[in-house]
Structure 1
Amino acid sequence: MDIKLTTQAVKDIACDAFIVAAARKSGEAGVELSAPASTIDSTLSGLIAERCADGEFKGTLGELLTIHPHNKLGAKRVVVVGLGAQEKVDTQAVRRASAIAARHLQKTGAKTIAVAGGFASDNFQEVEEAQAAIEGILLGTYSFRAYQNKENASSISQVLLVSTQEQKAEFEQALHRAQALAEGTNFARSLINEPPTS
């Protein structure tokens, strides 16, 4: 899987699917969209907010809402993933939500995906959120295929992590940390899945 940064505008990023986040508002009904989700919502004339207001999406951890932008974005579809209660959102919630969204997209045939953090929280910095999102994608799409026909396996080939020009160096380091941690975990999973030798 090729993972790289992009500083393109959110609405212009060409991909099969774009993952953005939202959380359940604290102490009131409604959903709090991340900054990139709000940008996409504006481009789509409030379609995400409308679906949330209708109760179709509540922001529960791991909940998914798929939106088809009909050529208004570079992305073929947008997947809004829930992070749970706004005041409880942490990097673990970001990691789990990203894993769930990526697994769903892998099963539905997406090859290139983009992911944008931008969820304001006192529990983490944006660079930590970015690292958790990439870890989640790599851990969520892992499967042990050593003894299976790999031709029929659907897999995501490219992930684009959205960054600003100012944060690019920090995000690059976060990306490398995420890859190292996830690859180590996935390698251990593969060892466990190998049959014992006699």
Structure 2
Amino acid sequence: MARKRLSMRKTRQVFRLKWEGGLSNRAIARACKIGRATVRDYLNRAEKAELSWTQVEQMNEADLEDTLFPKAADTGKGKIIPDWSYIYQELKRKEVTLRLLWQERYQSDPQAAYSYSQFCNLYRAWSKKLSPVMAQSYKGGELLFVDYAGLTVPYVDRISREQRKAQVFVAALGASSYTYAEAQKGQDLASWISGHVTLQRHFTNLLL
């Protein structure tokens, strides 16, 4: 009898306790009220898929489940190999994901498209051949990364009643789940400095 799958919410909890909390498999099993064999199985699946906590945090439930439980691999017969260079460039665009690019191919020709899990596996294999980037090593929470998100948020000016677009100032402590976001009127120097002042106050209060 096949073992019942964990909900993706509980699956994330398992990974968070392991990768962020550093708990043993026994402690994770006790905290999540599941068997140690289940903990070991899910961690093995994550390792095989080369997942990190950062990737898991960014994936939706469908993508995470497809990655951990891939369908039977396509034989490749009758399949059209995607232009991985094009896929790579498209992923640099805002709000573009592997699932979105796969869906476009699948909808245009289902018979010639790979399954989503195989599509991801093939892309990961191709991307490993790219020139490596410089690895950055630092302790969790040691560095603070700050930027503007790029996407804007609409709002209505209370005085003029005109609709405007706010810039989103964002920050995150490296290798942690601590983030900060603030809507600002623009990306001018005054807004940039103001954002740093408020985020420093936020993290100071958070870590006290």
TM-score by length of 1: 0.22
Query: Which has the higher relative contact order, 1 or 2, with Cα contacts under 8 A spaced 6 or more apart?
Result: 1
Q: Higher helix share goes to which structure?
A: 2
Q: Higher strand share goes to which structure?
A: 1
TM-score by length of 2: 0.22
